[in-house]
Structure 1
């Protein structure tokens, strides 16, 4: 049904579910390349009336002219309520392990929320949200907020697939708001906290050792 629209965005490979992320990337790139010239033209028009300088001097006063609603920082409850874990078959050992990891995630978020960012280098809940979705605030538009979900997946077979290694980090896809947890490396909350903290802080690249 959406084949013509996807192709019009410059996607040239076969349209199938396995290529979902590639298709999304093509759509985002296409939208961005169209949007930037429009924004540049809008800026030039605003410059004619001195609005650009006014915005630079009074950004808070001009904020409501361009952004509907109020920018809100996320809390632990918001992220947990947005999570949609893809659990294994109910009653299996895999499902129990996956639920334990989701509990670890909740404990991790509540812990950093309670710390309140006491130090400049401290993690905050908005850092976790930005790591997963590329945005650090609660969705602004009501419809966007209503449909906002974070998909949680679980990788049980990294050692079988990758061979002997000591650590894996969770992997995120900001395009699809998805995080995949390496189950075999998250046995305890201490390990979960250590690995998650490193992943959020140094998310420029993920490496297996």
Structure 2
């Protein structure tokens, strides 16, 4: 049977959803590993990563069952949900790729203000204190520095700010994150196209008089 036929579309859609399932399981496993080894202690970050992994896993299961049984309703909802995820992920990926240094600093500042236990973890692991030692954030920096427990405070030289350390690699990290997100967003639109094509194809093994 030529590629693009019923069997080819079914196998391609099943393979794509198996990959999504593996990615979802990987996200859950990495979050559990990070929590177990104490790399990240914030329950909000761990819970967020696990939630994304479980959500992706559920979508993949719906798509896989719909592809195996040629289930019209499941394939329809799979298409709709995957297209919404594509729009969201495409927008976030483009934002990551287009973000300049000033916007990165503002993002770090807004994130730093809402972090609690994760802030302490970052300061200890990166051996830094405070976010940015600038005129605008001097008051916050002094407060963060006073409460900081990083090992560098014992040195006479003092501590480098965490914001400066993170901004040194932020551009590269955002490019990688945006590139990976953009790649996966195109796999999602491929999944939508495959599901739509497969949903409208006739099963050759089914009753010829049956509806699709």
More helix by share: 2
Query: Which TM-score band applies after superposition, normalised by the shorter structure?
Result: under 0.3
Greater relative CO (CA pairs within 8 A, separation 6+): 2
Q: Which protein has the bigger strand share?
A: 1
The TM-score, its normalising length taken from structure 1, stands at: 0.25
Rg larger for: 2
**How does the TM-score come out when normalised to structure 2?**
0.25
